[in-house]
């Protein structure tokens, strides 16, 4: 199989940097913004996040159907959508600018703007994710693309951790910080989406140019590995999203160490860069499923450490957070490679190569997980009596933050790893399927 050029791999990673300017910013700071800046109650903000993500799951599936029905002779099936990446980026700036009006109007504005972001993001993110399966069928090359994607997202996460979080913890004008940040992201992210659209190439064509609803439905029914992966994904992303959404509260209100945010960002950079290099070798040696399971177990151990670490031992808590990061990064890299494998399985099973709806279904489960994760944190804060105006949180609020950052994520990622026992599409089996498909073509 033809090896991908370095430029195309870098360009694919640039696309996820643009994605993360929308999704990572929301995961890390939207709950803080809604509660501490916009003045929306924690329970109301949590409900909003869950409702928006459920809506986002449906928009992902709709986007998958649209992608499967579109084919451009010049640009291919997926790349044309990336050229409209500026739309969700601009809407993201509106999300972080809730007007100072009465509480009900604030909440209505938040629902409308975040809902529009979810809709526009689906129409860009779903075809972006499908590109992996269209660019190559080689497992190691797909792992390279997964690594590039994770590095792209990491670059934005590191920026948020190094530069934005310390400003928020230092008592700066949070509204001004978020406004400037989202506008800069809109300009830079639009350029990155365009770069990905131009430099990436679709080399694996579909079995049919336009796929009917009946063909999509039949392909999904026959694809048991996809079902297992999606169930595991929704549990795993719920856990990791809860840790991400609670991390600011945990460092500020439990450890009283917001200064550790840049340290966590540096650890994320080191972990992801290392995994991007090492993961293709681990996949070649042990297979994707075994590496995925190991990543989940590491996340469970890290979550328990975060929950149990005394406030006087911040190094122990940081070790737990680092293990959670290791888990999140490794499983994220593998997930994008695994979903591409399920496309070939579905084609082998039904004779129709369904890419858009496959990725959309996985993306939908991930969006549900992100919404549930944010909701877990918000509802935990409400249960614990969290108050954004309090100089020091009550013991119940601290316990709630600990549980949301550590205990619940540990249980969820462990369950996600256990479910992968039923994922039977091994790398060896996948290679056999690909060889058979190539022969038939």
d(CA 40, CA 406): 25
What is the per-residue pLDDT for 216?
67
pLDDT confidence band for 44 (50 / 70 / 90): very high
d(CA 355, CA 343): 6
Q: Is the pLDDT of residue 290 over 70?
A: yes
d(CA 224, CA 422): 9
pLDDT in tens, 322-349: 999 999 988 988 887 788 788 888 888 8
Percent of the chain with pLDDT over 90: 41
Q: Of the ranges 50-64, 355-369, 404-418, which one carries the lowest mean pLDDT score?
A: 355-369
Rounded mean pLDDT, 147-161: 84
> What secondary structure does DSSP assign to 335-370, as a single string?
HHHHHHHHHHHHHHHHS----HHHHHHHHHHHHHHH
What is the per-residue pLDDT for 165?
82
Strand-pair partners of 72 = 76
What is the per-residue pLDDT for 210?
62
CATH architecture of structural domain 6-440: Up-down Bundle (1.20)
pLDDT in tens, 1-22: 568 899 999 999 999 999 999 9
Contact 404, 376 (CB under 8 A): yes
Residue boundaries of the structural domains of the chain: 6-440
At a CB cut-off of 8 Å and minimum separation 6, what does 95 contact?
Answer: 26, 30, 110, 113, 114, 117, 182
Rounded to the nearest 5°, which phi and psi values hold at 100? -85, 80
Rounded mean pLDDT, 35-57: 89
Q: Is the pLDDT of residue 207 over 60?
A: no
Contact 253, 391 (CB under 8 A): no
Looking at the whole model, is its pTM more than 0.85?
no
Closest CA to 143 of 346, 326, 288: 288
């Amino acid at each position: 199989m033809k090896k991908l050029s370095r430029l195309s791999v870098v360009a694919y990673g640039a696309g996820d940097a643009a994605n993360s300017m929308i999704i990572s910013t929301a995961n890390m700071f939207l709950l803080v913004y809604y509660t501490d800046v916009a003045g929306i109650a924690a329970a109301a903000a949590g409900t909003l996040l869950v409702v928006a993500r459920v809506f986002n799951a449906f928009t992902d599936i709709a986007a998958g159907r649209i992608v499967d029905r579109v084919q451009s002779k010049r640009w291919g099936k997926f790349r044309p959508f990336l050229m409209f990446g500026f739309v969700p980026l601009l809407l993201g700036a509106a999300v972080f600018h809730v007007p100072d009006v009465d509480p009900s109007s604030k909440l209505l504005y938040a629902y409308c703007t975040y809902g529009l972001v979810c809709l526009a993001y689906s129409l860009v993110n779903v075809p972006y994710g499908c590109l992996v399966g269209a660019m190559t069928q080689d497992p190691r090359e797909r792992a390279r693309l997964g690594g590039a994607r994770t590095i792209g997202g990491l670059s934005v996460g590191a920026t948020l951790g190094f530069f934005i979080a310390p400003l928020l913890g230092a008592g700066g004008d949070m509204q001004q910080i978020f406004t400037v940040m989202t506008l800069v992201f809109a300009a830079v992210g639009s350029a990155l989406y365009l770069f990905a659209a131009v430099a990436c190439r679709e080399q694996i064509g579909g079995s049919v140019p336009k796929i009917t609803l009946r063909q999509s439905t039949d392909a999904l029914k026959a694809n048991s590995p996809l079902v297992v992966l999606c169930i595991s994904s929704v549990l795993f992303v719920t856990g990791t999203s809860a840790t991400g959404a609670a991390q600011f509260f945990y460092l500020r209100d439990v450890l009283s160490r917001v200064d550790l945010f840049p340290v966590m960002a540096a650890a994320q950079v080191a972990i992801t860069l290392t995994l991007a290099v090492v993961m293709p070798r681990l996949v070649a040696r042990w297979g994707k499923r075994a590496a995925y399971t190991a990543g989940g177990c590491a996340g469970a151990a890290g979550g328990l450490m975060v929950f149990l670490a005394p406030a006087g031992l911040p190094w122990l808590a940081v070790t737990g957070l680092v293990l959670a990061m290791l888990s999140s990064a490794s499983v994220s890299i593998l997930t994008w490679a695994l979903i591409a494998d399920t496309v070939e399985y579905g084609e082998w099973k039904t004779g129709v190569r369904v890419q858009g709806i496959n990725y959309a279904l996985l993306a939908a489960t991930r969006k549900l997980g992100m919404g549930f994760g944010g909701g877990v944190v918000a509802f935990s804060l409400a249960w614990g009596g969290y108050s954004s105006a309090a100089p020091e949180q009550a013991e119940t609020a601290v316990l709630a933050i600990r549980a949301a950052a550590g205990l619940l994520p540990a249980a969820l990622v462990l369950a996600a790893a256990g479910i992968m026992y039923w994922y039977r599409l091994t790398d060896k089996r996948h290679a056999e399927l690909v060889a058979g498909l190539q022969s038939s073509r």
